[in-house]
Structure 1
Amino acid sequence: MNTRVTHLSSENQSRSESTSTDTANANHLTYIRSNTSRTLAAGEKNLILEGDANIFGAGNNADNILIGNSGRNRLNSGRGNDTVYGGDGDDTINGGEGNDLLFGEDGDDILNGEAGDDVLNGGAGNDTYIFNAAGGRDTIIDTEGNNRIRFTGGLRAEDLTITAVANNDGGQDWKISIKSTDSVLTVSNQYNVGSSVPTIHQFVFDSGALNIAEFIRATKANIETAKSQNLTINGTDSDDVLNGSDGNDIIDGKAGADTMSGGWGDDTYYVDNVKDVIIEGKGAGTDTVISSVSYTAATNVENVTLTGNANIFGAGNNSDNILTGNAGHNRLNSGRGNDTVYGMGGNDNLNGGDGDDYLDGGEGNDNINGDAGNDTLIGGKGKDTLKGGAGNDTYIFGDDDTIIDDQGNNTLRFSDDLRIKDLKISVNDNAQGGKDWLITSANSSVLIRDQISADGKVSVGRFELLGETYTHESLLKAVANSNKQGSIITGTARDDVLTGTEQNDTIDSGIDGRDRLYGLGGDDILRDSGTSYFGNERDDELYGGDGNDKLYADVSDDYLDGGAGNDHLEGGQHRDTYVFGKGYGHDTIFDYNFNLDPEFNPNGMQNANTVRFTGGLTLDDLEISMTQSYDKSDIDHIPSDSEFIIIPRLNGDTWNISIKGTNDVLTIKNQSGIYGAISEFQFDSKTYTVGEVIEHFGLNAPHFDKAGNLVHDLTDKIDWYGVDQRGYNRVVYGSADNDTADFSDVIGKVTFYGGKGEDIITLGRYNVIDGGTRNDAIFDSGHSVKNTIMFGKESGHDTLHNIRAEADTTVLFSGNLTIKDVELTTGKDWVVKLKGSNDELTIKDMVHSPSGHDTVDTFKFEGGESYTATQFLNALGMDSTVNHGLI
């Protein structure tokens, strides 16, 4: 059939007519189409709003059809039995009088049937339904979104009666009656068959909002099926208000800043926004928050689990919490209560707070603090630091842990798969005057810092193993007597000769004296733990003998001979001598030196250590390989800056020295050409400095050359900061890669050859910089003085940045260049080009003043020509009185 269509233009308010076919019914329907707000006049029945503007539409006394647009509309149907469609957008629809059909469609809509018996369908989105005592008999049909009913007109929950009725579909309808009236609101399929998701999630009164469980209690309804529902509630991307039931609900607010309340039951919340709010009642169940963002447990929430791999924070409250980290680096603070905390993956920080807590670091290198209370601490995998804090704490023997605890009566508990014979204990002096314990098994170790303090206090006094309990003293004896464990021998303050057995001995030289320690057979630990003073001769000799021994010399000028077997040797402070030769196996040396020149070393403090090769070996009998840095995991004591006024050098490399034709290898850790572990290599026929050894084997390491220059290569690992080497000239060679060299804190002259890469160079004092080929960037450090920048053919495109006028900087043109080979472009920046090439030097923000305060003060040529900035301009035929830069 043909339909007459009337169109109203918002631009010119003129009318036009067209014809279309209506397939919905056989009646002639007339529509008013408008893209502005419109109220139907008398005789007009139907209205369609067009476009996306937020406009208004209204009916009249007839039976109208109103259709909204994609914007936010307010649609009032007026009198009559009307049909209203909201369309897209968050619409407000009022039915007025009559029995109306109201459809919200997309968006978060507000539907008010008003007088009459109306059918309300919000459609997609989180919709709100309005009902009061004059509402008639309305029906809500809505299967999408988190919807709510708002009761107006001063209604209270006690004014209502709720009846649950099974419907023909097997679901449950709710009939909400207003007492003393005929008004009834029916919620069709409040619960669909087989579903725990309700149609209406929240009930709003003037006094506040109630979730389903609260609404049932407030109305004193007897709806057991609704109260026991375990709901799954999902929010939208908006800011949602989500309410659960008395069951064990799962509530996920999705995006947006959501407010979630589970009510009674053991509820689970998903949090993805730091502005999400969880509301839980006291004693309303054991609730869990699963969060992908940093989260602190809300009041009455017991458990927090972090997800993903972000480095985020989790915290508990005053309850007994369970906190679980994610795969990232987390900080987990459990707060008060007796809490359980799992770090899981990542390098985590766990803090127990008050209460008796259980703290498990999981994987990664974790820091675990028990704080107050009697806590249990488990490091898990990785290198963990465990601090029990106040209280009597229990530690679980772990992978590679360090225990620090000077409070309470503490316990170390071993796993059930360990026996006494599986354990070894090393007792080591520390800088505080106490003794550290290192307890090892085949796969695990625990270091107890200050196990016996300087004043005799014991850190861990109780040890539990296979149902047996040991004190620290009885554990030492039990370990020493088990499975061929050798003797524990301790010297005196005299000059002792201490000899071990064929078993695994621990021999300690005692507090002082010039001692000789012989390990003989077995895997021995020889330790010189004495105190030495400058100028005395109380030096010790440590002989490992057969077996895989550990020799620790501590202070004084000591003599360490590992003998046969794979030995570990640490000389400690002062000038130590290590012995190595054929048949010695694979020995490892760790030692260190200090950041001072020999002429500045007070009282001979420099550790000029020596390796003595025996049996007629010569330098040509050796092969040497070098790798950057070194493994610190098996080193007994790595000194810290706080132990010395003079800073120890610890940034060396690993040297492996092999004796040709044998399997004997000497590994030197922390070795370098300058202040490394070893300074001299002695043979029966000759002694070599480390620089001579480097040159002999062509090693790529920093060293002093024969001219007295300190030679570096940027393929080496060099620390340029805080190095005090007064009087030495440095030569630094860049690599073929893009190097970064910072000479700002280097004291002494430096010559730098950049190589083939694009280098970034920061100037210091008295530097000569040749960036090499490619495009280099050179920067003023802010206190650079008297530096020379080399530039010539094949130098590429180099740039000087932030050069201060007072820095007294020189550009030196290399090769056979003269002033005739140069052309200059001036302005804010000066660009110096070499004729016949693509090479150019850019001087950024060039300051030129006739008074002589210039960014570059001197331009020199290797042939002898030298120009000030003014003379340089004149020599190139440019007017030096004109502003060629920033004056």
Structure 2
Amino acid sequence: MGLDTLDGGAGNDLLYGGSGNDTYLFPRGGGQDLISDRDWTRGNLDVIKLAQGISPSDIKVARVGYNLELTILGTTDKLTVNEWFLSTDSQVEQVQFDDGTLWDAATLTTLSKGVASEGNDVLQGDESSADILNGLGGDDSLYGLSGNDTLNGGAGSDKLFGGAGMDTLDGGAGNDSLYGDAGNDTYLFYRGVGQDWISDYDSSVGNLDTIKVGAGLKPSDIQLSRDASNLYLGIAGTTDKLTASSWFSNSAYRIEQIQFDDGTLWNADTIKSMTKGTATAGNDALFGEDALADSLSGLDGDDKLYGLGGNDTLSGGNGADELQGDAGSDTLLGGAGDDRLYGGTGADTLVGGTGNDQLSGDRGNDLYRFERGDGQDDIDDFDPDANTDVLQFGAGISANQLWFSKNGNDLEVSVIGTADKVTISSWSFWGPGTWEKAQHIEQFRTADGKVLLENQVDQLVGAMAAFAPPAPGETSLPQNYQTSLNAVIASNWQ
């Protein structure tokens, strides 16, 4: 308490003025100091006093969050006033120069907004006002703060932050990042806009954000596409693209409508319908809908099928396909080709089909099916929960035709006399502990009703390790193998 003078000297210092009319000294070489000056006394007058030889043109004023920053140009020296913009109680009221220039709070607020130029600028609006910020050229950062603001990035790779309120964001030419935040925001998309990216998180009920397509562009000019998470808009015949981040994976990020100059309006349901994809003989991407029981078939080609939520049936058909069930109890059928199947959460059924497939059921009671001629499949089933996963062998594969062996941490189950094999990755990777059995298949089943449990596998591995696997073409165990192995097989397969 009192009329204090604080000089941190060289180094990065913390300065606490407390109550009273305090003076903070800041010279060249002062380092990067932080001021915390909480004083709610009416009429309080704190001062930052710049050292001799520092003129107003040497100081850059900026707002970073709620903090006020004064930087001496050409140096790393910086003075930060904590929470200057959050509360008048935290303000240092004046900045004083040796030549007699005085910046009061109003001047500091104005200077912190920045000045637009053809360079890389930081521009900020006022809280609760309808600001218009124009970045011009350069890679600019524009902050509207609260209020119904209009942000124009201009040329360059800009970052636009609308803040709360009903904001309009126009990135301009260049590849820009647009953040709408809370409120019913409008994003402009037109020829020559470049490749922009939107992040619009707003979980408010009834929120209505809009992508407004420029004059002269018809619905037929706009190409919609998606992946598992994002929505993409393209303009035919150009490289212009707009990415609506997390549009499909989180409704809080959703831009609710696309509006055209001719009055056409695409709402969220229309957008979902237009981005499902169409199955062809080529390489397709097909998408289901959350909470619906979708049935997707890829036909020929190397396809990607996404079931999303709901109990879905995904059929890859011919080709090297990727099937993702996501949430729900899904059925994934790889078909011919080397496929990748991901069940996601839920009790899924995974059938790789012919070819060398990669299968991952994830959490839930999953069922893996394997038939003669299915090739060499790899199962990676990380599930630390107390679930029961099953590997079901098809007709014509009996218990005494399955050969168990270890290859490093992997368990291999081969159909004797053939090249068919299932590898269960990382079977013994984790060792004793919570996750010891996290990548186990809990049951092995044959078509005639025999069942082998996970805790019986090592007995078969140990017994069979004394022999070489039967030669190709031998579809039953040689007589000398049977003498040693039949009893072990019979006692464990029940």
Q: Determine which structure has the larger strand proportion and give its number.
A: 1
Give me the TM-score of the superposition, normalised by structure 1: 0.27
Q: Which has the higher helix share?
A: 2
Higher relative contact order (CA 8 A, sep 6+): 2
Structure 2 length-normalised TM: 0.43
